[in-house]
């Protein structure tokens, strides 16, 4: 098969490119599934962890000074 640029494209080159494209597609599909799992399925778990990081109560004893009036 002749390409538009004038060099011959072998079947094995086409096969390698197709396998590479399928591999990249599978990797991105895996990422999309993981993002969905984290954002939708495990939403409550991660929301609780985030709230625990940003909201906490510290019981700190305070000293009262002398008031002069």
Number of domains in the chain: 1
Task: Tell if the pTM clears 0.75, that is, is over it.
Answer: no
Classify 6 in phi/psi space as left (phi over 0), alpha (psi -120 to 50) or beta: left
Residue 19 lies in a domain: yes
First CA to last CA distance, the chain: 100
pLDDT(8) > 70 = no
pLDDT of residue 5: 61
pLDDT of residue 65: 75
Residue 1 lies in a domain: no
The parent domain of residue 38 ranges over: 11-54
Q: Following DSSP, what letter does each residue of 4-40 receive, concatenated?
A: TTSSBPPHHHHHHHHHHHHHHHHHHHHHHHHHHIIII
The residue-averaged pLDDT of 7-29 equals: 90
The residue-averaged pLDDT of 4-28 equals: 86
Residue 60 lies in a domain: no
| Total residue length of the chain | 69
How does pLDDT run across 21-57, given as a tens digit for each residue?
999 999 999 999 999 999 999 999 999 998 888 767 7
């Amino acid at each position: 098969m002749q390409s538009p640029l004038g060099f011959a494209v072998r079947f094995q080159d086409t096969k390698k490119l197709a396998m590479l494209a399928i591999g990249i597609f599978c990797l991105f599909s895996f990422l999309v599934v993981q993002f969905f799992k984290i954002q939708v399925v495990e939403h409550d778990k991660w929301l609780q962890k985030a709230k625990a990081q940003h909201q906490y109560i510290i019981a700190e004893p305070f000293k009262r000074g002398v008031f002069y009036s």
